[in-house]
Amino acid sequence: MGKLTTIDTFPLSKAVAAMNTDPESELRELRLEVAALRAQLARRDADVEEYRKRLIASRNQCERYSQQLRALRTSTSWSITRPLRMRRRKALNNGWT
């Protein structure tokens, strides 16, 4: 058989340790563990809230950029300069500089 690692024996050692402690000590340890898990959950909740706020801000910025782009493309100057842009694009595609 292979050598047992600490990972393999961890549940057994925890069970043996629990049998060797009094119930009050075990209860204190469990309460500490619950408190630690609640603190971890609170930190994760705060992280989720921060990411949610960032996502909303990014979406708002994207919407502002989209509005600016629509305004640009519907402007008079964009319409007037269209032939120049088309000529330049055609020249670049044909290898002209």
Per residue in 27-46, pLDDT (tens digit) is 999 999 999 999 999 999 99
Q: Which domain holds residue 60?
A: 18-93
Q: Is the pLDDT of residue 21 over 90?
A: no
**Would you state the pLDDT for residue 97?**
53
- End-to-end Cα distance, the chain: 75
- Within a domain: residue 6? no
- Please give the share of the chain, as a percent, with pLDDT higher than 70: 76
Q: How many domains does the chain have?
A: 1
Radius of gyration of the chain (CA): 32
CB-based contact 68:62 (threshold 8 Å):
no
Is residue 69 domain-resident?
A: yes
